[in-house]
Structure 1
Amino acid sequence: MNHLTEIRTIGIPVTDQDRALKFYTETLGFELVMDAPLPRFGGRWLVVAPPNSATNLALVPAKDDLPAGVDTGIRFSSPDAKAAHEHFGNTGVATTELLEWPGVPPMFSLRDPDGNRLYVSQF
């Protein structure tokens, strides 16, 4: 019997949930899925996702054993990585060079305001 059926939520540690919410919704174009008080853990249960995505991100308060500024390993897909790279670069988002190798989808990485690294590739 398989007790696990999908990847639903991935946590990203952030130092300022309001700043992170603004970046992920206004800059990356994600939608707010949930914003619920969670005072016991020093913040809110704040969840965002790309439109129509089954997987979402929880923007969780960073702490000593969960620091911000990490390589998340999270890969987002884009129908046009080159256009996304240009767009984010023009809006001041820290991005790496667009990698375009024969036979490999174009890709790049970007950083959120806390320095968390995220990846974008064309699919």
Structure 2
Amino acid sequence: MTKPDIIDVATIGVPVTDQDRAIAFYVHQLGFEKRLDVPLEQLGGRWIVVAPPGATTTIALIPASDAIPAGVETGIRLTTRDAAALQTELGARGVDVGELLLWDGVPPMFTFRDQDGNGFEAVE
């Protein structure tokens, strides 16, 4: 008998105050694709899943609540081939981006926030 094990990370939930506004941000400003959008009354909204094109791990845009507030540091690090170019591009699209961090021995990175103030990092 094989031992059950965890083999991957499928979806990470990010709390949002307005799911339609969140779709607009993640799809139009970040360039993600919407992979799923179905009603889910148990959440008081919909089950919406977005991801960068071709990514395996996805982000669920879940309705915020008192127990799951929006505007948090998610701890999510997204990867990019060129942090400086992405920081410039996202800033031009109106995304709230932080400064490009260039530290010896560490890949270039910067922080950014979604429409609800949820914090992410982009790392080269």
Cross-structure match for 2:64: 62
2:122 is the counterpart of 1:120 = yes
Of 1-10 and 49-58, the range deviating more from structure 2: 1-10
SS in structure 2 of the partner of residue 32 of structure 1: strand
TM-score by length of 2: 0.95
Which residue in 2 is equivalent to 1:37?
A: 39
Percent identity between matched residues is 52
Unmatched 5+ stretches in structure 2: none
How far apart are residue 7 of structure 1 and its match?
0.4
Runs (5+) with no aligned partner, structure 1: none
Output aligned runs, 1:1-123, within 5 Å.
1-122=3-124
For 2:36 and 2:8, locate their aligned partners in 1 and report how far apart those are by CA, in whole Å: 19
Q: Distance in 2 between matches of 1:82 and 1:119?
A: 13
Aligned-CA RMSD value: 0.8
SS in structure 1 of the partner of residue 104 of structure 2: coil
Could you tell me how far 1:95 is from its partner in structure 2? 0.9
Which stretches of structure 1, 4 residues or more, deviate above 3 A after TM superposition?
none
